[in-house]
């Protein structure tokens, strides 16, 4: 589909493009699953695991055994090497992101933030249509770098089997608490606990629409990283862009699932048509053609002008933004809303999916307007630290008294005024 944006008013046509359709029937199904797991705990967890994953779960087999974990060591040596490279690069990037407690001093005052990790995290790795060891690394390593003491992994085990690639990735992260559970039932078990699954403080990791709705429902009882929607990419091109590279990157994102989205933006209408034609040719040769033939309907080719380019890019606020123009660093400063920015023809989003180092769990559905990628900060919390000497209190408290008076919170005022009076009388 092609869209022409010639003036600012046309940009409104983009506002609803990335919105996910609310499905009340799915929401009600998720609420039912959560409610039953809260009430019947293991009984409900085992029921839904058998219903959705064709796996007769019980207290003895819901958790991966040490013997099963060893199956991860049977994967091919070249796969082990690739995952180790990815693991180290992700770890190094996370260490650079790490924030530490800080304090500043004024006369008679110490102010700052005490930054500490959460105690226990539950990470979710999707299954079903594909296996995602990279998601295990991308979700667990930030938690490890943050200092989380306990990390549990949940992943669907269709017919009771977990991919050895998932198990090897988990072993790289020293995760031994692994549950054969998926979907909304896994999120509910992490959020509220069952006889077999210990509850967590925060749940992180992408999943399907059922997982997303479940995370939304349990938020507040437990922390979540974000609500990750279908994968999406925005590719900015010009007349110099290698059309086949742009087309490959578009197809790469569209193959995730039927709801994946792609946006191609350019000042050059001819290049847009060229890329669109190549995308269609590539799709016919891909192994996941059945998915691509549906998701390609979500591809939008946007022809705009230089005046509106920045507004178009930031209105879409895409998960992945690739700049494949002759002078990409002249476009880069215009991007304010993006999950990750890939600059130049040799920095495809697929590198970011696996081994670049920055996290591949990114804000989607225009949430890049206010959200950031998953990072060690996701697994950390901040406590403000405040210390006043008596003299500093004497100097600053009267201003707080005035604010308390205008807000008519007189107990607030009295908590300050009694101390001020004692200082004045010399009794404190």
Active site residues: 319-320
Q: Is 1 helix (H, G, I), strand (E, B) or coil?
A: coil
Query: Phi and psi (nearest 5°) for 270?
Result: -65, -40
Question: What is the DSSP annotation of 219-285?
Answer: BTTBEES----S-EEEEEE-TTS-HHHHHHHHHHHHTS-TT-EEEEEES-HHHHHHHHHHHHHHHTT
Q: Phi, psi at residue 82, to the nearest 5°?
A: -60, -45
Strand order, beta sheet including 120-124: 177-179, 150-154, 120-124, 202-204, 223-224
Residue in 58, 83, 62 with CA at minimum distance from that of residue 73: 83
Torsion of Cα atoms, 262 then 203 then 342 then 169, to 10°: -110
Neighbours of 368 (CB within 10 A): 26
Burial 195-207 (b: 16+ CB within 10 A, else e): ebbeebbbbbbbb
C-alpha 292/C-alpha 251 separation (Å) is 7
In this structure, the strands spanning 177-179 and 380-388 are: unpaired
DSSP string, 210-227: HHHHHHHHHBTTBEES--
Cα separation, 67 vs 416, whole angstroms: 62
Query: Which DSSP helix (H) or strand (E) runs through 101?
Result: none
Local structure of 389: helix, strand or coil: coil
- Report the alpha-carbon distance of residue 113 to residue 384 in Å, rounded: 5
């Amino acid at each position: 589909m092609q869209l022409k944006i010639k003036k600012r008013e046309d940009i409104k046509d983009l506002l609803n493009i990335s919105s996910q359709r609310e499905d009340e029937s799915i929401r009600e199904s998720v609420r039912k699953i959560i409610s039953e797991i809260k009430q019947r705990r293991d009984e409900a967890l085992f029921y839904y695991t058998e219903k959705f994953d064709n796996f007769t779960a019980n207290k003895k087999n819901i958790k991966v055994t040490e013997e099963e974990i060893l199956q991860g060591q049977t994967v091919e040596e070249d796969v082990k090497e690739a995952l180790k490279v990815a693991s180290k690069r992700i770890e190094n990037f996370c260490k650079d992101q790490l924030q530490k407690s800080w304090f500043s001093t004024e006369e008679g005052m110490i102010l700052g933030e005490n930054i500490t990790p959460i105690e226990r995290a539950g990470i979710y790795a999707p299954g079903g249509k594909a296996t995602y060891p990279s998601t295990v690394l991308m979700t667990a390593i930030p938690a490890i770098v943050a200092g989380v003491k306990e990390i549990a992994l949940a992943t669907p085990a269709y017919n009771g089997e977990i991919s050895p690639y998932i198990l090897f990735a988990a072993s790289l992260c020293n995760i031994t608490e692994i549950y054969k559970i998926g979907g909304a039932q896994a999120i509910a078990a992490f959020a509220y606990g069952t006889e077999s699954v210990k509850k967590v403080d925060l749940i992180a990791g992408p999943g399907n629409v059922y997982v997303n709705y479940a995370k939304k429902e349990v938020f507040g009882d437990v922390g979540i990283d974000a609500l990750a929607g279908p994968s999406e990419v925005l590719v900015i091109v010009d007349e110099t862009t290698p059309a086949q590279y742009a087309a490959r990157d578009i197809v790469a994102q569209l193959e995730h699932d039927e709801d994946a989205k792609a946006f191609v933006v350019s000042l050059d209408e001819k290049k847009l048509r060229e890329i669109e034609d190549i995308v269609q040719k590539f799709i016919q040769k891909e192994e996941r053609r059945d998915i691509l033939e549906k998701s390609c309907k979500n591809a939008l080719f946007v022809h705009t002008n230089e005046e509106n380019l920045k507004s178009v890019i930031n209105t879409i606020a895409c998960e992945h933004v690739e700049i494949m123009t002759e002078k990409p660093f002249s476009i880069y400063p215009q991007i304010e809303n993006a999950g990750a920015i890939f600059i130049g023809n040799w920095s495809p989003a697929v590198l970011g999916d696996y081994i670049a180092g920055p996290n591949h769990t990114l804000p989607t559905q225009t949430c890049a307007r206010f959200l950031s990628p998953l990072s060690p900060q996701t697994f950390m919390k901040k406590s403000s630290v405040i210390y006043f000497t008596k003299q500093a209190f004497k100097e600053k408290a009267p201003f707080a008294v005035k604010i308390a008076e205008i807000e008519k919170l007189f107990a607030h005022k009295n908590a300050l005024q009694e101390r001020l009076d004692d200082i004045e009388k010399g009794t404190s």
